Structure 1
Amino acid sequence: MINSKIARIFYQISEYLLMKDVAFKPQAYERAARLVESMEEDLEEIYKKGGVKALMEIEGIGQSMAEKIEEFIKTGRIKEYEKLKKECPVDLEALTAIEGIGPKMIKVLYEKLRVKTLKDMEKAAKAHKVQKLPRFGPKVEENILTGIEFAKGAHGRFLLGFILPLVRKIEKRLKDLDFVSEAIAAGSVRRMKETVGDIDILVVSNKPPKVMDFFCAMPEVEKIYAKGVTKSSVRLDLGLDADVRVVPCESFGAALQYFTGNKDHNIVLRKIAQDKKLKLNEYGVFRGKKRMRKAGIHVHPVRPRMSNGAGSAHANEKKIAGKTEEEVYKILGLEWMEPELRENTGEIEVAQKGKLPNLVKYGDIKGDLQMHSEWSDGVHSIKEMAETAKELGHKYIAITDHTGELRIAGGMDERTILKYFAEIDKVDKALKGIRILKGLETNIRKDGTIDISDKVLAKADIVLASVHSNFKMGREEMTKRICKAMENPHVDIISHPTARVIQGRPGYEVDFDELFECVKKTGTVLEINSYPDRLDLSDVNIKRAIEAGIKLSIGTDSHSKNQLHNIELGIAQARRGWATRKDIINSMSYNELIDFLDKHKKQ
């Protein structure tokens, strides 16, 4: 699918045009990029069916954008993009990934210091050349070096939300083959970790060579590293590596457990097995015959083999588990653990006691409590967002467009907000089968006040408050800032509570112990923002919040109807943080949620 490539180019054209101070067009390209990136339909397939006309039928894609998509499909290039790159030949993607570095700063760095790459920037900053530039200074230079180190730590990993649609597609293709009975992605994908290094797919099939042929011939395969009888390794066009392994049915559970990981979790399991005089590996759980005879167990001299003929045990060992994960864990004296928990953060010890939490299920969430429409910086109308949410099975949503001072995101003034509320009420009344809450995502000013008057906030059903600026405040000052915002009785939820951007910037400093006390005192909710590069709160902080008795919400922060499916990422993050259904307010029914919000406002 070429959507990601076109979206990447559109994002970069937007950045280049910002460098040149071009009006309006940068925003148009960014909106088009966001739309294309979130689409499930392949643009190339749409074009094949109806050409430019079919592309223009996509809401948000005009003639100019459609023609550029056509140009890329036909030639693999977009002339305007190539021209802009020649004018300023920099690694725009790498440089803009540094927190605080925007297009105009990159232009200055290129013109004055010939900075083209991350390496060039690091060299210039370490030589203290950056701080000598007008409007840069020592603090900017220090922040650049910090940002570069942060970016290095993210190298080679991909956002889960970015690669998950492709993984699901590959899984389905394999499952649909007549000669495949099971296909599932293991590793960090199955654990729903926020970033993924590579993809591991396990398959059960009676025709391994055919699986290898099919896998290596997929259109997304850019390079084949190795192609064997039961295992193949490739590079996908998204830039990450993928392995497929065919395993025998009788070892599938053991293989799935082993390749799901994580490594530390598996090390502890192997130690438990050793303490029980057992051997655990990807082929199964084994016990020596002598020990089994002492236990009165009769064994047959069968040597288990993998489908490629490789032996998995010595002749004096007998496989006693391996077909399912459940039997592997059971024979080790453990409850089966949800994949999202397997990080060696206490889950094994709790499983030994039989006290694992009943995690929130993917079907438990009844609504989405953060999204944006065309009233601020979203792509689609309120009605379109609601209709898509209804198709996904939601019973309610909150439309939470930006307010006042966040001008870059189309923040609404108070007069516009009242018209916006009227539109939400109109759509809510007309659309059956789903309820729409009148929401706002407000800004927490530096002094902790909210950028919209209480008079207007009182008219909203639900109010989110967010830090969108001044991220470098000290820990104590930032904590006081957020606590003051929570003291406003109209503020229901603190959204993306640390403002982190995965692979972009670390979260701001905040004292969570004090923050949790403020949350409990005011009855405020903390959000799990499920936008792919946020997933904020982190799994670690979710677990801390739950232990402190804090209520949580999940919001996709969608800016397009095509992003609403990201609710899955937020639920996964909640599960990784050991959250149960009762911990998440949008597991409530609509009436229960309204009662909860009303009680909070009266608190």
Structure 2
Amino acid sequence: MPTHNRDIAAKFDELADLLEIQGANVFRVRAYRNGARTLRDLPHSVVQLLRDGTDLTELPGIGADLAQKTREIVETGELSDLQEIVQDVPESLIDVMGIAGLGPKRVKTLYEALGVRDLAGLKKATESGEIQDLSGFGKKTEQNILEELATRGSGEKRFRRRDAEELAEPLIEMLRQIDGVDQAIIAGSYRRRKETVGDLDILLSCSDAGPVMDRFVAYDDVQRVLSHGQTRASVVLKGGLQVDLRAVARESYGAALHYFTGSQAHNIRVRQLGQQRGLKVNEYGVFEGETRVAGRREVEVFEAVGLPEIVPELREDRGEIEAAQTDKLPDLVTLDDICGNLHSHTDWSDGAGTLEEMAQAAKARGLSYLAITDHSKAVRVAGGLDADRLARQIDAIDDLNESLDGITLLKGIEVDILEDGTLDLPDAVLARLDLTVCSIHSRMNLSGDKQTTRVLKAMENPNFTILGHPTGRLLGERAGYQLDMEQVIAQASQGGHVLEINAQPARLDLDDTHAKMAREAGVKLSIATDAHAGTHLDLMRFGVDQARRGWVTADDVINTRDLQGLRKLLRG
């Protein structure tokens, strides 16, 4: 039976996907998606809430129907509505819908016209040339599908950082509670805060490793034990994530932590610096001849080769060695620097909270301002706002601000960038706002030239403030649309526009390389949660991690300003 919130939420997401393919009522689909978001982001276990007798309808976005279905999933492990719909719509079509450009209507057409039931069937139909003959598809769509299928077919399985964290953190906490354990740290790309990870390396320092290895392989969430020794063990968790545990001698722990944190390219550079000083640097320490001269603490490795300590997020050999040598390492942005959030949704569109609930959630998290940026009318499935509804929301925000204390709501909109580069709402109403988040939610399969022209034209609008989730990617599901980011960054620099680092774990868009390009071009950034519920404001840390990997400082981020400073910046 599902015991994790993420597993319960996944069933509602799956049901919503299949209902959307089936052509069900958009409000019903949205209700399941909102419910899934709420459950996934709860700080407490749903199972425990039910055991405690909590009324789930008190949670945002959870009505009586979803509360009953949540209880059904917890008690039986199944969802009867989901079992019924898969009689008519194969579950494997969800994977097909994950291909860029294949929304529910197109997936339904593929299923009914060509019998496509899964990615293998899609590949076969595409390679045979059948898809280009379907109404509304064409040869270019067929080619785009082939290219994305080829991309998906390469490389190892990777986990979004947040998914890996949900599996890893309870395990690492269990290890740290064992008597005799001094340190247990997850190294690798996880420690470097990469957006996805392939597996986990945990480094252990303890008085007696054998019993710790025994506890590790007996951990409740272990699905399969790959190896079990006295100082090393490897398992696959029930979520499919491989975890390797290594016990390291105390005198070598810092060196091992540096080595296994990586990246490989960074480590090579550090070893080269050591060689220039007659030193050998490896996972066991820093050696002069046969004598270990450093290695107990990680900072000792850097000091031995003449460097200040470099934070894990920068260890990619993208200039951090040279910056460290010249005392030019950036003072990276931190979560404590963030003063507000500039991308959030309410129940005026597809969010789960009211204006006041979102305001209070932001205040409770120490923010001083929150921009309300509900969807515009082009996103019909989200109940997007037309000009009249936006005007009413502007008035509602003004009224609410008069009674709020310690938090200010900013008036905004996530306005769609239409195919021709115009914005989805009239300039007259957009001009009344504090800011706009301008995003693409349709026609993601345009050519690179057309997509870039689309965005550049939108940026010419005087009401354009922030480019939301700039590439439109969904990690592990959908590649970003074709976009010349160098041109976009150049235009943003020239026009004083802001690029968003969307903190949603499925997006983390901009990526770290584009964030670094942007700040080097003098472009300001907004780290924003794209919150659809109050709990989503807690996702800010993932955006901050992404920004840090991109060498971003607090000054590069507009929402590190206090309210007065932000207003001044927005006014130009």
* TM bracket, shorter-chain basis: over 0.9
The C-alpha deviation readout for 1:346-368, integer Å capped at 9, x for no partner, is 22232233321221123211111
Q: Distance in 2 between matches of 1:164 and 1:190?
A: 11
Deviation of 1:128 (Å): 1.9
Structure 1 residue 39, shift from structure 2 partner = 2.0
Find the aligned partners of 2:155 and 2:451 in 1 and give their Cα distance: 26
AA at the equivalent of 1:471 = M
1:431 maps to what in 2? 404
Q: Distance in 1 between matches of 2:134 and 2:422?
A: 35
What's 1:409 paired with?
Answer: 382
Structure 2 partner of 1:271? 272
Say if 2:444 is the partner of 1:450: no
Matched position secondary structure for 1:87: coil
For 1:259, the equivalent position in structure 2 comes to: 260
The TM-score normalised by the length of structure 1 is 0.89
Match of 1:394 in 2: 367
Instruction: Indicate the residue corresponding to 2:217 in structure 1.
Output: 216
Aligned to 1:295: none
SS of match in other structure, 1:479: helix
Find the counterpart in structure 2 of residue 578 from structure 1.
Answer: 551
Residues in 2 aligned to 1:553 and 1:358: alpha-carbon distance in whole angstroms? 17
What is aligned with 1:308?
A: none
- Cα distance in structure 2, aligned partners of 1:167 and 1:365: 26
1:71 corresponding residue in structure 2? 72
Q: How does 1:516-527 map to 2 (within 5 A)?
A: 516-527=489-500
Cα 1:425–1:445 shift into 2, 3 Å: same
User: Which residue type is aligned with residue 447 of structure 1?
Assistant: D
Find out whether 1:515 has 2:488 as its counterpart.
yes
Map of 1:115 onto structure 2 = 116
Task: Look up the match of 1:40.
Answer: 43
1:303 aligns with: none
1:488 corresponds, among 453, 461, 464, to 461
Cα distance, 1:25 vs structure 2: 2.6
The structure with the larger Rg is 1
SS at match of 1:425: helix
Change (3 A) 1:211 1:380: farther
Alignment deviations for residues 319-350 of structure 1 (CA, whole Å, 9 cap, x no partner): 11111111101101222111111112222232
Does the 8 Å CA contact 2:226/2:234 hold for their aligned counterparts? Answer: yes
Q: Is the 8 A contact 1:216 1:224 kept in 2?
A: yes
Matches within 5 A, 1:95-174: 95-153=96-154, 155-174=156-175
Instruction: Sort the Cα spacing of 1:214 and 1:425 in 2 relative to 1 into closer, same or farther, 3 A.
Output: farther
> C-alpha displacement at 1:575, in angstroms?
1.0
Distance 2:377 2:112 in 1: 36
Letter matched to residue 43 of structure 1:
V
Asked whether the 8 Å contact 2:16–2:32 carries over to 1, the reply is yes
CA contact (8 A) 2:30 2:381 kept: no
Alpha-carbon distance, 1:579 to partner: 1.1
For 1:424 and 1:460, the matched residues in 2 are separated by 11
Code of the aligned partner of 1:91: S
Q: Compared with structure 1, are the counterparts of its residues 389 and 207 closer, same or farther at alpha carbon in structure 2 (3 Å cutoff)?
A: farther
How far apart are the structure 1 equivalents of 2:419 and 2:108? Answer: 30
Whole-angstrom CA distance in 1 between matches of 2:497 and 2:393: 25
Give the Cα–Cα distance (whole angstroms) in 2 for the partners of residues 496 and 411 of structure 1. 18
- How far the C-alpha of 1:112 sits from its partner, in A, is 4.2
User: 1:237 is matched by which residue type in structure 2?
Assistant: K
Q: Which runs of 5+ in 1 are unaligned?
A: 289-316
Q: Secondary structure at the match of 2:437?
A: strand
SS of the residue 1:203 aligns to: strand
In the aligned structure 2, how far is the partner of 1:467 from the partner of 1:179? 53
Residues 154 and 503 in structure 1, CA contact (< 8 A), matched pair in contact too? no
Does residue 13 in structure 1 map to residue 15 in structure 2? yes
Cα gap change, 1:384 to 1:167, in 2 (>3 Å):
farther
- Maintained 8 Å contact 2:493/2:523: yes
1:465 aligned partner: 438
1:569 equivalenced with 2:542 (yes/no): yes
Equivalent in the alignment of 1:532: 505
Cross-structure match for 1:61? 62
**Residues 461/33 of structure 1: CA separation in 2 closer, same or farther (3 Å cut):** same
CA distance in structure 2 between the aligned counterparts of 1:200 and 1:436, rounded to whole angstroms = 43
Structure 2 counterpart of 1:7, one-letter code: A
Letter in 1 for 2:38: L
Cα distance change on mapping 1:76 and 1:512 into 2, 3 Å? closer
Q: What CA distance in whole angstroms lies between the structure 2 residues aligned with 1:278 and 1:128?
A: 60
Q: Distance in 1 between matches of 2:196 and 2:437?
A: 27
Aligned to 1:292: none
Q: 1:296 maps to which residue?
A: none
Distance 2:135 2:378 in 1: 27
1:444: how far off? 1.7
Structure 2 spans left out of the alignment, 5+ residues: none
Distance (whole Å) between structure 2 residues aligned to residue 544 and residue 579 of structure 1: 10
Q: State the distance in 2 between where 1:6 and 1:449 align.
A: 40
> How far 1:90 moved relative to its partner?
4.4
Given that 1:498 and 1:508 are in contact with CA atoms closer than 8 Å, whether structure 2 keeps it comes out as yes
